[in-house]
Chains A and B, each alone.
Chain A
Amino acid sequence: MKIKKFGAALLAFMLMTTNVAALEGEMGYFGGITPGTKLPTSIELAQEDYQVPANYTLPYKEVVYLSGDAVEVEGTITVQSGMVGIDFRAEPTGSYTESYVINATSPDGRGSVTRNMTLTTQYVYNEGLDQLIKSSRVTNWNETVAADGSAYTLDQASSHFTKSIIEEHTPGVTYYSGDVYYKAVYNQGDSPTTMEVNSRIYGYDQAFAKTETQVRTISIDDGEDQYFIKETPSITMNKEIFYSSNEPYAISFAGNYKELIQGYGAVKYDILVGNDELRSNQMTGVVGVDDTFLLDQMALPSLSQLQGHPARTDIEKLYSMGIYDVNPIAFSPNQAITRGEYITMLVKTLGIELPDVTSRRAVLMDFEDVAKTDPNYQYIYAAYNAGLINSTTVNPDDYITREELIVFNVRALGLQRLGLGIPTIQTSFMDDSKISNYAKSSLYVAGQIGIIPNSNGYIFPDMNVSYADCAVFLNLFIDYLRYGLQKDYNQMMML
């Protein structure tokens, strides 16, 4: 039976796209933290005129070490991103201006920071690798810092700042890393105070969460005393969903899911060499900042036939997110899913940008086995553009197997690198011998990062995937995007 599509109400979700470029810079480059800019809600993404904000002001905290002690300041950071709106694929080289204005003071009056920096950033986009390289030079930098009774004014002529970032775009996640080095020379007292900072930057941005973590080493010399500090500022913003049931008895729907978007930042510091008076318990610390959340309701059809079904919650979540759109009346959890259907689901899940296939200027792609009239055509085309599929032969009507599904999921995360260097050797699954050679590496990765449900050590790689099973697989995958991936960037790095 051909499955009927579930109304046009969820059409809006088809328009969801994630950011083309990662929004690094939301915490500045001076060790400060913010809660980050909000991920767009589903409703915002559904609007035709939705734009990622180019300029924004966020709550801000920073720890100042110029006196050899940790002085916490809080205030705001205003960022003019400069890169929002640039289509790197259309303009593979170019430049833009980014600026950061920070005003922060400590509640106990021990310190303050006033900083104004403008950077000119040049970029080169490598289409073959889908990587973007950005390099920034400072064009204006004014800064005044107060710490423990001393005032420090930046000597811009003697100071130096350089930043370079590389981004890699995978089908579902944009990862980036980079380096910042700066030498800030401050006029204070008789001799200048010099602060050298080396910072590694790591981050990612995707539909359900984004995280950026910096690993900074700070060396300070005021002519008389020298200090050395390591700090790890990190910000994380993610989307969660919650179900809430309705209390009135006479209401047409029992409840629905809600989407909640909230961010927080934290900086952990270790003063390895500080001022002599510091005690051991004053040499480490964590400072945090958070914000208020955004809340959106999510649509949910009645799926009374699923009462008691073990995958009911997972299926309902996918309906709420617009990933399942089969008419709920005709929905059968045991129906097997085709490759074409799964590719469509994955494109929706990841918010991959859909190509124009309807206008007169649309450039259509020819697939061997996907008709342009196929309802999944636009999604398969999007998947091809994003690198989720590599061939023009898609076999869209074949039922997808578990190992194929997992290979898609790992490819969507761009984490094939974590797989086995020797791809055909051995995974730890009990039915390893049933796994196709090409899929072993991806299954190994999926097992390591926890996006495979535990089935007593078996994976049943060649088994078809029902809607019920698919809901479990996809929710594990989405949970990894919401909560799991960030742990490598904050929990693992902030010890």
Chain B
Amino acid sequence: MSKFKLVLALAVAAAAIPSYTHATTYYTDEEYEIAKQGIIYEDKGVVIENKPELGYLLYRNMNNETIRANYYTSQIVVEKEDLYEQEDRIGYIDELFPYFEYDPRDTTIDNIKPGDNIYIRTDANGNVTYVSAYNYYMLRYGKVISWNMLNSEVGELIMEDDSGNIHVYEIALDTPVTKSNRPYSIGAIRAGEYVRLLVSQKTFGAGIVEEEVAEIVVDGDTRTIDGVYKGQLLQLGTYDNTVRLAHAQQLMLAGWSSYTDVLTFSADQRTFAGYLEGQRKSWDYMSRYLTGSTLDAYVAVENYMGQQNVIMMNVQDSYQRTLDPSRVISVTPTEIKLLSGQSLAVGESSIVIREDRLVGATNILVGDMLQAVTNADGDLVVGNVLLDISEGNLQVFRGRISSLDLREEFEVETFSLLMDNEWYYHPQPRTYTIDYTTRFYDEEEGFIKDGIESFLGYGLDSSINEVYTVVTEGEKAVLISNMPYTRQCLTGVVYKGEEEDLVYLKDVYEYNVEENRWYQYSTVNEGLTVTPMENSIVIRNGELIDMEDLQEGDRISVMMREELDFYIELNGANIELVNVDGYILIVE
């Protein structure tokens, strides 16, 4: 017998005197003598079957023999190492002596599953007295192709790793998920996101491997699409891994941006996906035959590790058209139809962006608002799925505070709710909670640091009987502002102007509250500027944002204190654009 096999022998003498159970047991004389000799019977293997109700388990040992081991369910001591237990702080001591401190590894025999690796000890009769189980874990990193809930207990995750391998997992919905070091809802995982999976791997036989996802970490938005650009392919740098586009433009909500003479991005030749007229082409092919041409190259640029990398390129040799955003009304694997009437062919060369992620064309769904770039053949070259959530779960209302419980909640006697640019009065009381996340704004100071501490229901600075504009999410107030009543409204499309602290609007319409009608502001589309007030509210896609986060092409509604005529009059003969005060700005 080789040295190796000796190690694997079933009976191994060891110096330690074992005591496998925590409960006090009485040894017979014979058992006492055996225990005193320090003989232990141990083995290792992989569980094939475990039947607690029948009191046995089958395992394959290190000699590749299948062993049936009996046990008494009530007497066996079982430990199983959980992945999050970094260290067994009790360790061997609780096997040597009765030890009653909480041991996170203690479990019961029914938790020993097929595929578990086990270390067992038996008594002289071969009955298992102690089982310690552990699993092999490995990490997988990749991009989510799709995530669907199959039923109330499991979902199906399809993931593509860096090597292009597709992995399909059924994942329990109670699997721990985190994002940016915070717990995250498993239902919120989206196609195009990158995830790291902790996978428990069990090998049952040649070619038979079972993998179970034990934990998911979702990329904390460190790997997102920075933008889609169009330009003429100037150079694919073989050595410095760069892509240079001439006369480059970025796709904005309002169409293509102004030209940049030369834009340079990084690229990884090993993962770069390039297409010419729908056909996959290599980096070298594109470098040799397409650089310097007048063909339009559309590239998806991903921000990763602080660098802008081209991850997909679609080169087109024909006229292109950028369609206004339109609702998707029909989807097949090869074609989508838009409410505006176009039918567009989709394929693997289509650059499709959804929630700042590059996704497959199958992720375009009926009901999506799609900004599409097409070629003369009606192929979808670029598809940008636009979120049209607007206020989302946020609601804006005004109310007079009737009672206030410091740091807890407040009540308004009656309130007006802002809906579709009009305030609707509700003559009933309503209560909202406040906490450390509630933001307070003042007309003069703007953001009030620790504002919750000065939001009082007593004293000279009492807020009782004061009127506030409040943004709420469900029953919780997320923002409280002392802005004035803003009854007037206009809408317009954001464009880039010279002064950074102004919002420039074109295509402006003013709403006439009395007539319930929209009026065009300027027949020559002069536009105007909006000055967001210190205590203003800006909402986009169901989130509060800063004014600086408004993007070119955003259509916004602006709630003002005065009618537009007031500001026009204020402007007088000034040649500057008319400037209005903006209190509530909502991206539509």
Contact = CB atoms under 8 A, between A and B. Distances in A.
A223 B195 CA distance: 38
Of A280, A428, A448, which is in contact with the most chain B CB atoms at under 10 Å from its CB? Answer: A428
B544 interface: yes
A38 interface: no
Given A272-B182, A284-B180, A426 B203 contact: yes
Interface in B136-179: 136, 138-139, 141, 162-163
Interface in B260-308: 270, 303, 305-307
B207 interface: yes
B208 A422 contact: no
Interface stretch (A9-17, A116-124, A183-191, A263-271): A263-271
A286 B207 contact: no
Interface residues of B, number: 55
A495 B64 contact: no
A486 to B, nearest CB: 11
Interface in B216-235: 217-222
Contacts, number: 122
A494 B62 contact: no
Contact of A290 (B307, B544, B549): B307
Given A260-B239, A264-B305, A495 B62 contact: no
Interface string A407-431: 0000000000000111111111111
Contacts of B222: 268, 284, 286, 494-495
A492 B197 CA distance: 10
A179 to B, nearest CB: 14
Given A284-B180, A429-B206, A488-B139, A495 B240 contact: no
A430 B62 contact: no
B193 to A, nearest CB: 10
Interface in B196-222: 196, 203-209, 217-222
Interface string B411-440: 000000000000000000000000010010
Contacts of A286: 222, 303, 305-306
B208 A423 contact: no
B141 A487 contact: yes
A438 B5 CA distance: 11
Contacts of A495: 194-196, 217-220, 222
B306 A424 contact: no
Interface in B362-413: none
A295 B62 CA distance: 51
B181 A425 contact: no
Contacts of B63: 424
A268 B141 CA distance: 17
A287 interface: yes
B207 A430 contact: yes
Contact of A268 (B117, B220, B238): B220
B180 A279 contact: no
B62 A422 contact: yes
Contacts of B60: 425-426
A428 B182 CA distance: 35
Contacts of B436: 276
A244 interface: yes
Contact of B180 (A260, A270, A288, A437): A270
A292 to B, nearest CB: 8
A183 B73 CA distance: 52
Interface string A239-263: 0001010000000000000101010
B239 A293 contact: yes
B307 A284 contact: no
A358 interface: no
A450 B62 contact: no
A490 interface: yes
A425 B217 contact: no
A277 B447 contact: yes
B194 A425 contact: no
Nearest to B238: A242
A430 B209 CA distance: 11
A281 B549 contact: yes
Of B136, B180, B238, which is in contact with the most chain A CB atoms at under 10 Å from its CB? Answer: B180
A492 B140 CA distance: 9
A289 interface: yes
Nearest to B437: A276
A424 B62 contact: yes
B44 A487 contact: no
B339 interface: no
A304 interface: no
B450 interface: yes
B206 A492 contact: no
Contacts of A487: 141, 162
A432 interface: yes
B582 interface: no
A218 to B, nearest CB: 12
Contacts of B208: 428
A268 B180 CA distance: 10
Contacts of B207: 428-430, 457
A373 interface: no
Contact of A266 (B8, B238, B306): B306
Given A420-B136, A423-B62, A457-B207, 19 more contacts: A260-B240, A262-B240, A264-B305, A268-B222, A270-B180, A270-B220, A276-B439, A276-B447, A276-B450, A276-B451, A277-B447, A288-B305, A424-B63, A425-B62, A426-B203, A428-B208, A448-B138, A487-B162, A492-B139
21 contacts: A264-B305, A266-B305, A268-B220, A276-B449, A277-B447, A279-B545, A293-B240, A420-B136, A422-B44, A422-B117, A424-B8, A426-B46, A426-B205, A427-B203, A428-B207, A457-B207, A490-B305, A492-B139, A495-B217, A495-B218, A495-B222
Interface of B: 4, 8, 44-46, 60, 62-64, 117, 134, 136, 138-139, 141, 162-163, 180-182, 194-196, 203-209, 217-222, 238-240, 270, 303, 305-307, 436, 439, 447, 449-451, 543-546, 549
Q: Which 7 A-B pairs have the closest CB atoms?
A: A288-B306, A266-B305, A266-B306, A428-B209, A432-B206, A270-B180, A495-B219
